[in-house]
Amino acid sequence: MLWLLFIVNALGTVYGYIWYGQQMEYTVETQALWQIIFVPDSPTASLFFTLSLLFLLFPRLAKSGPIGIAVRSLIEALGVVTSIKYGIWAVTMIMAGGAQGDHLEWEHYMLVVSHLGMAIEAVLFVRYMVFGRFMAFMALLWLLLNDTIDYTYYVFPWLPDVLDDDLSAIQLFTIGLSAFSLLVTWLLISFRKV
The predicted-structure confidence for 3-59, as pLDDT tens digits, reads as follows 999 999 999 999 999 999 999 999 999 999 999 999 999 999 999 999 999 999 987
pLDDT of residue 21: 97
Helix axes 167-190, 133-153, angle to 10 degrees: 170
- Spatial separation of the C-alpha atoms in residues 75 and 25, rounded to whole Å: 27
Domain ranges (residues) in the chain: 2-190
Identify whether the C-beta of residue 150 lies closer than 8 Å to the C-beta of residue 38: yes
Closest alpha carbon to 37 in 46, 24, 25? 24
- Spatial separation of the C-alpha atoms in residues 51 and 128, rounded to whole Å: 14
pLDDT band at 62 (very low <50, low <70, confident <90, very high): low
pLDDT of residue 88: 98
pLDDT of residue 193: 61
Residue 194 has pLDDT above 60, yes or no: no
Other C-beta atoms lying within 10 Å of the C-beta of residue 96: 18
Q: How many distinct helices (H) and strands (E) make up the chain?
A: 7, 0
Per-residue model confidence as pLDDT tens digits over 95-123: 999 999 999 999 999 999 999 999 999 99
Identify whether the C-beta of residue 92 lies closer than 8 Å to the C-beta of residue 173: yes
